[in-house]
Every structure is written in C-alpha cells, then in structure tokens.
Structure 1
C-alpha cells in the first residue's frame, strides 16, 4: 500500500524537518503531524532485507513468468549454468547467458511503492545523478530542499488527477536504488541463483567499482533517466535505472570479487493517475574474455 499522510510530502527544509509541497512552495511540518494516526514507515534497509535475504527457493522454482516459452528457456539455461559452473568454464557460462534472448527484456511484476520513511528517500535520491526530461542534475547541485523543491513545483503543476504529495512520494520510491535494486534482485536471484552460483547486489552498497578501460562496462553508474509528462489529465513517466550485480561461485563468495559482473537496466513505464505500470529488465553481460 502506498504511504499516505494528511499533510503533504516534500523536500526537507533547512531545519531538517519535512516540508509540504503547496503550489511549488515548501511549508514546514513536523514528523509528529505527518505520522499522527498512521502506521510507522519502515526503514529502507528493512525493504532491502525483506526482498533479498538468501538464494532459498531459487532451485525449486519452475515458473518464472506468465509465458511457458520463457519458463522452458530459463529451466534449460539453469541446467546448463550448473553444469558449466561446476566445470569452472566461465566462457561457456557467459555464452549460455547471452543465448537466452528473454534476458534482454525480462518482465517484472508491478507493485505499489512500499511504505518507507520519506526523509530517507529524499536523502538517498539527493545523492543521485538524474536526467529529468533531458536536463541533467548532479549530486553536487541536487540538494534536499533545493532543486528538489523546484522539481516538486514542476511536478505539482502537472498533478491534475492526484495530489502532488502522493505523486512526489511515489516518484521518489521509483528513484531510490535501494528499492529498485531489491526488486530486480528478487527476480534475478530466482532465475540465476542456484547451489553453484550466488547473486549479489552492488548497487545498494553504492560501490560499483568497475575498472576503467574494461570493454563492456562503464567506470561509473549511469544517471537515472526520467521522462515525466501529462496527457489528458493523467501523469505518465518512463524511468530507466542502471544497477550493478555480480555472480559468484559459492567457493569464491568470501573473496569479494564476482566471477561475472553484469549491468541491469530497469525500465518502468507508469501512469501515476491510474496506477498502471509495466516493468522489465535488460541484462548486459561482459565480453567472454574480460
């Protein structure tokens, strides 16, 4: 269920309290007023832990999507991955992964934003590099209560069929990597996790240490791309988030070095007004000899 409060949601002001978005202006409210009579939101760390505990269940799953062809292809892939991993054949593991065309656009079930602490969301998103409707925003200039309020003003002017505070909160949830990465992890672990392979999330740690000059990867995590617009009184958005993951052989987990690095693009298209959304992930694998 999406968190709701009787007061608005907005960027924090200089005193550290949250603010209400009202016609593009920030009005200070205390956390006591915002949370009165409402269930307490859970920390972002709880959301991640609930979605990415272990690899349990990955072995026994036989249905990975709503499409039998995809399920059969993934079952065949998992069998081959186990065989080649036991043989320590990284090249054949990568070849097997690249041959599964469904991993280029793997659907993820939609879900409403979790109920988490607003201030934690704002602080996390303020550290991100963003491209909003073609305009770049960098962490050095994005600040809670600074550009956040300007963006909230623009968004609130579009909100015809839903409240600006609800739109603001929902959008922050889509931009927080701790939330998007845990969603992707849950799906990828179901497909790639096994007795031989562990999937680990690099994005939630915010430490995508990828060496420069390595083909197939970039040195820094690409910015989150957001296109948001209004049509017929409805607010639409397309968000692309790039996340980092690694596959580890069980014997190599303690080394801290993934056997296979990957970059995952999460594409989300949503209608905030109606609540409809479509999500899929695209996996980018490294070259076989990297």
Structure 2
C-alpha cells in the first residue's frame, strides 16, 4: 500500500492510555497501548486485541519522556498482526501549540539518535554488519521497559495502575519472545559455528538458553498474578507484586548486559561467524 504522508514518522515506544467515545460523547471503552512511531500528524498505535470496527475517533493520553499530552485522533487504517496484537494508524485531529511543541521536541531529539526498531522480530531480509551495534540496540529496547515501569509506578496519577502494568508486561513478553527466538535460532548458532569451540563456550550458550526459560516462566507468573489482582479487584498483594516485578526486571537487565558483553566477544570480529549469522537470516 502506497501512502502519502505530510510528516515523516520516527520510531518511538511510548505508553498510550486511550478512551473510545460514541458519537454522542459517551465513553464506551478504554485501554492501554503503545506507539510504534510518531510524527507531528499522528501515531502508529499498537494494542492487544481489537477495537470495535465502527470506531473512528479516539481520545489519547501519551507519555513522551517526562511529558504527558492529551490529543484526539481518528483511525486512518487498521493492521492485524501476530499473537493477537493490532496496529492502528491514528491521525491527530486538533492539537494545541504546547502539544505540538512537545512532539516536535521529541522528534528533533530523535534526529540525533540511532534509529531503533520498536519490535525485535528479525525479518528474512535483515542483514547484520556490526554484531555489537545490533545486539546492544536490541537489548536497549528491552531495557526501555525498566524505565517505563519505574515511571509508571512513580507516577502520581496511578489510576488503573495494575491494568497499565499488565499491558506493559504483555508488550515486554511479545518483544522478549521475538528477541529470544532471534538469539536461539541465529545468534547462538553463530556463536557455536566453526572449529575448536571449547566446552566453556557451549556452557555459556546453554546458560543463556536456560536464562531465557527462567525469565519467560517468571514473566508468565507475573502476568497471571496481575490478571488475578485486576479481575478480582484485590489491593492486598499489589505492593508485593510491584516489588517482585522490579526484581524480575533487574534480572532481565543483568542477563542483557552479560549477553551483550560475551556474545560480542564471541562473534563481532569473527567474519566466518558473521557470514554464517547473516546466512541464517536470508
């Protein structure tokens, strides 16, 4: 599909609270999503599930760095993706000067940053020229969730906090599944490619695979507890779960840093491994 846009869109990962209103102004549903990209004219919004087919207008609260903006938009297009997620192209309707300034400030700062893909799924046409830059960028995307979670918990307005945390953890799971699949089906195979691979290298790759299993199991447990607390509207156990998530994210951060350091040393300057890695992505 060819699209003509007035503005260039920049990759972004920002939480969005949205409310759907009927034509007569009655609130009929609400939820949490995230932006995949953003421009002065709109966003690409990703949510779990589907909005009602007849919905056209949407009211959104978007967290951009330390700022929060409120903006109305209309649904321009819909794209159903994998694993029960849907992407919506949202065109802003009317925006005030302050909102425009915040968005433009975010976009201007993005011009001086290395672009990051908001999703970690590696496509067949991917090619890696610098393994170090690639693995660090992917881990940075995962680690952004730690900062997003901290801001979410520390926010003075913590209405629907458990629902927001559940949505954030659901998106984290989606990205971790893609990231771990990429590592286990390409990166780890490349690390073990070639002659004279010692036992210590096999051990470290097995450790990383085991870490993946443990992290996914812990994340599934967290999501289960979040849904129980949300569905039963329980307050007891909420503080304990919030602390447990911080611990889980700390373990995830430690794992990412270990992988970045060790996998880079195994692959980055070995051109045979790099060639093999890229062959797995063709």
Q: TM-score, normalised by structure 1?
A: 0.28
- The higher-RCO structure (CA 8 Å, 6+ apart) is 1
Of Structure 1 and Structure 2, which has the larger fraction of its residues in helix?
A: 2
